[in-house]
Amino acid sequence: MPPAGELIWFAAALAGAGTVAGVLAGLFGIGGGAILVPVFYQAFGLLHVDDAVRMHLSVGTSLAIIVPTSIRSFMAHKKRGAVDLALLRSWIVPVPLGVVAASLIAAHVSSGGLRGIFALIAILVGLRMLFNQESWRLGADLPPNPVRAAVGGLIGLLSALMGIGGGVLNNTFMTLYGRSVHQAVATSAGVGVLISIPGLFGYLWAGWDAPGLPPFSTGYINWVAVALIIPITLLVAPIGVRFAHALGKRQLEIGFGLFMLSVAARFFYSLT
């Protein structure tokens, strides 16, 4: 059992991460995993979790937390009539298929490999946030199938490998094809539901009987962390929704982009 001081810092770090993640879930339509995964990685280190499973546990636990957070955020946005339900219906199969593929990869990739994947995608996400221009367009409307289905599958794959809800990736896709940022954010909350539910079961399976897991873990999901963070994220997610419909987000995008680049640098450093 770790010393009491380490457990207190662990709980405090998780509470802070849950607050930020919940607000981001509503604000950007994301599940908050981009915040949770690096915080989990550090917090599990405080508890001396085996490095071979620490990153997998961080990603899987993040996806488990995103389930209720995304549902709460999606319902709040849906009440405002901003969700593109047609797009979500067209992704009911492709997005979960991408998540399943990610679970298969996670079952075989090393901790270092998973950190490298997270860092590479984090760089792309961070640069997109820093340099995004609302005037950038690839088309006047969303592309039809099979392009739309392929994009959904890719969003599911990359998001489940990172432990995120797919909001940043979907926001980019929708705004590049002429949709408003508010509709993109609202729809991304629904995308998070399509990613997190199969992701939860995928990481349960991928880590089943894995050695080195801490107590109260099933597969690559730690239920203590889930129990600590879910109430906080559910409480504060509607606050982010109100911000999303009331504020310009450019400064927040820049801050989030810088955060993602710093996380990428941290993970790349850990690989040296």
Tally of domains within the chain: 1
Token readout for 40 is: 């989990």
Q: Are 10 and 214 in contact (CB under 8 A)?
A: no
Q: What is the pLDDT of residue 57?
A: 96
Distances (CA, A) of 67 to 90, 130, 192: 20, 28, 7
The dihedral over CA atoms of 120, 29, 193, 176, expressed in degrees to the nearest 10, equals: -70
Which H or E element spans position 256? helix 250-270
The dihedral over CA atoms of 33, 66, 222, 15, expressed in degrees to the nearest 10, equals: 70
Token readout for 172 is: 């980019």
- In this predicted structure, the answer to whether residue 115 has a pLDDT above a threshold of 80 is yes
Q: Which of 10-19, 137-146, 247-256 has the highest mean pLDDT?
A: 137-146
- In this predicted structure, the answer to whether residue 76 has a pLDDT above a threshold of 90 is no
| Mean pLDDT within 72-91 | 91
3-state secondary structure of 249: coil
Q: Which residue has the higher pLDDT, 5 or 149?
A: 149
Q: Which residue has the higher pLDDT, 240 or 94?
A: 94
- In this predicted structure, the answer to whether residue 244 has a pLDDT above a threshold of 60 is yes
- In this predicted structure, the answer to whether residue 234 has a pLDDT above a threshold of 80 is no
Question: What average pLDDT does the structure give for the chain?
Answer: 86
Give the domain extent around 228: 4-270
Q: What is the pLDDT of residue 1?
A: 57
- In this predicted structure, the answer to whether residue 178 has a pLDDT above a threshold of 60 is yes
How does pLDDT run across 179-228, given as a tens digit for each residue?
Answer: 887 888 889 989 999 999 999 999 999 999 899 998 889 999 999 889 98
pLDDT interval class at 82 (50, 70, 90): confident
Q: Are 12 and 45 in contact (CB under 8 A)?
A: no
pLDDT interval class at 25 (50, 70, 90): low
